Structures are given as structure tokens and as C-alpha cells.
Amino acid sequence: MMMLFNWGLPFFLMMMGVLIFISNRKHLLSMLLSLEYIVLSLFYMLFIYLNMLNYENYFSMVFMTFSVCEGVLGLSILVSMIRSYGNDYFQSFNILQC
């Protein structure tokens, strides 16, 4: 029962994040938040896996560092998009435009 809880909960959280990511594609901010939710559930899954194998948690800290860098990159894209277009709607700008 505990094994199902240990692996079922992070998998359920990740699937909920993917469902939110797929269903909510209008704003860039909501997409970035759902991506961060998926990364946090992956971090939780990695932490459980490393604890089960009695490994050190150094790799989980490296993973968390990369996820923070990914979040900062997404926020910088959001800020530049809001400064140039005025909002974070995907329908308001053309990707092919230079």
C-alpha cells in the first residue's frame, strides 16, 4: 500500500499538471505555472527514487538548480513578451514576424 502511495501520488500530480498544461493554452503565465508544477512533481518522484536506493540527494539539488534556471528563463520570456506586445495572450502576436 505504501509503495502505491509513494509512486501513485507523484504520477497523479504529474498527470494533473500535463492535463492543466494541455487544457489551458491561452496565457503564457498559466502555461509556465503548469510547467513548474510538472517539474515539482518530477522532483518529488526523483527524491522518492533516490531515497529508496539510499543514494545521496546531490543529484536532486542539481535538478532543482536546473528547474530554477528554467523558471527564470520562462519569466524573462514573459516579461519581454509583455513589454513588446502588452499582454501574454498567444493569439495577439505572430510567431513568423521578425
For residues 82 and 75, give the distance between their C-alpha atoms in angstroms, rounded to a whole number: 10
Q: CB under 8 Å, gap of 24 or more: what pairs does 16-20 form? A: 17/41
Cα-Cα end-to-end distance for the chain: 55
pLDDT tier at 39 (50, 70, 90 boundaries)?
Answer: very high
* 66 band by pLDDT with thresholds 50, 70 and 90: very high
In CATH terms, the fold of domain 2-85 is Helix Hairpins (1.10.287)
Q: For residue range 73-92, what is the model confidence (pLDDT) as tens digits?
A: 988 988 888 887 777 776 66
Q: Where are the domains of the chain?
A: 2-85
Note the pLDDT tens digit of each residue in 24-33.
777 788 888 8
